[in-house]
Structure 1
Amino acid sequence: MTIEISMIVPVYNLEKFLPKCIDSILAQTFQAFELILVNDGSTDASGELCDAYAKRDKRVKVIHKENGGVASSRNAGLDMAKGKYIGFVDNDDYINEQMLELLYTNAMKNNSDMVACDFVKVNEDQLVDRKCASDDYKIQHFTNIEALHQIYGTNALTFICPWNKLYKESVFQDIRYEVGNINDDETVVHKLLDKSEKTTYIQTALYYYVQRKDSQIHSLSYSIRFGAVSALKDREVYFRKRKLTSLHQKALKHYMEKFFWYYFLAKSDSTDRRQALRVMKRSFDRTLFYLLLHKEMGWKQKVMCVIFCVHPSLFERINHIPTKKRQLT
Structure 2
Amino acid sequence: MRLSIILPTYNMEKYLPRCLNSLLEQDIPKRDYEIIIVNDESKDNTLQIAKEYQRKYDNIVICDKENGGAGAARNSGLKMAKGKYIHFVDPDDYIARNVYGTLLHFAEEKELDIAAFIFTKTKRTDWFETNTNIEELNIDGAPVITGTEYIANNNYRNTVWWYLIDRKFIENTGLSFIEGRWMEDSILTPQLFMKAQRMARLPLDVYRYMITPNSAMTSKEPEHYHKLISDIENATFVFDGILKQIPENDSVSKKCKSRIKTRQQSFVFFLLVRLMKSRLPIQYIPEKLEGFKKINAYPLNNFVGKDFNGLGYRILTKIFNKEKLMYPFMHFFRGLYRPATKLIG
Fold-level similarity (TM above 0.5):
yes
Q: C-alpha separation between the residues in 2 aligned to 1:282 and 1:62?
A: 45
Q: C-alpha separation between the residues in 2 aligned to 1:68 and 1:197?
A: 32
Aligned-pair CA distance for 1:296: 11
Gap regions ≥5 residues in structure 1: 298-313
**What TM-score does the superposition give when structure 1 sets the normalisation length?**
0.80
Change (3 A) 1:8 1:252: same
State the partner residue of 1:43: 43
Q: Does 1:134 align with 2:133?
A: yes
The DSSP-based 3-state class of the residue aligned with 1:74 is helix
Change (3 A) 1:137 1:235: farther
Q: C-alpha separation between the residues in 2 aligned to 1:257 and 1:211?
A: 21
Q: C-alpha separation between the residues in 1 aligned to 2:27 and 2:269?
A: 47
Q: Which amino acid counterpart does residue 249 of structure 1 have in structure 2? A: S
Q: Percent identity?
A: 22
Gap regions ≥5 residues in structure 2: 248-252, 305-320
Cα deviation, 1:14-72, whole Å, max 9, x if unaligned, reads 21211111111122111201110001111111101111222222211101111221111
Q: Please list, as runs of the form range in 1=range in 2, the aligned pairs for 1:288-303 lying within 5 A after superposition.
A: 288=296
Q: Please list, as runs of the form range in 1=range in 2, the aligned pairs for 1:252-271 lying within 5 A after superposition.
A: 252-256=261-265, 258-260=267-269, 262-263=271-272, 265-266=274-275, 269-271=278-280
Aligned-pair CA distance for 1:255: 2.6
Cα deviation, 1:152-196, whole Å, max 9, x if unaligned, reads x2xx33xx2211321101232211111122221101001111121
Q: Does 1:58 align with 2:58?
A: yes
Aligned-pair CA distance for 1:209: 1.2
The DSSP-based 3-state class of the residue aligned with 1:323 is helix
State the partner residue of 2:147: 144
Of residues 230, 237, 262 in structure 1, which corresponds to 2:234?
A: 230
State the partner residue of 1:311: none
Q: Please list, as runs of the form range in 1=range in 2, the aligned pairs for 1:172-183 lying within 5 A after superposition.
A: 172-173=170-171, 174-183=174-183
State the partner residue of 1:247: 256
- Structural RMSD (CA): 3.1
Q: Does 1:169 align with 2:167?
A: yes
Change (3 A) 1:215 1:269: closer
The DSSP-based 3-state class of the residue aligned with 1:189 is helix
Q: Which amino acid counterpart does residue 317 of structure 1 have in structure 2? A: K
State the partner residue of 2:27: 29
State the partner residue of 1:73: 73
The answer to whether the Cα contact below 8 Å between 1:186 and 1:232 also exists between their aligned partners in 2 is: no
Aligned-pair CA distance for 1:269: 2.8
Q: Which amino acid counterpart does residue 286 of structure 1 have in structure 2? A: K
The answer to whether the Cα contact below 8 Å between 1:239 and 1:247 also exists between their aligned partners in 2 is: no
Q: C-alpha separation between the residues in 2 aligned to 1:295 and 1:19?
A: 43
**What TM-score does the superposition give when structure 2 sets the normalisation length?**
0.77
Deviates more, 1:21-30 or 1:217-226: 217-226
The answer to whether the Cα contact below 8 Å between 2:4 and 2:84 also exists between their aligned partners in 1 is: yes
Aligned-pair CA distance for 1:286: 2.4
Of residues 260, 284, 289 in structure 1, which corresponds to 2:292?
A: 284
Q: How many residues align?
A: 303
Aligned-pair CA distance for 1:315: 4.9
Q: Which amino acid counterpart does residue 287 of structure 1 have in structure 2? A: I
The DSSP-based 3-state class of the residue aligned with 1:98 is coil
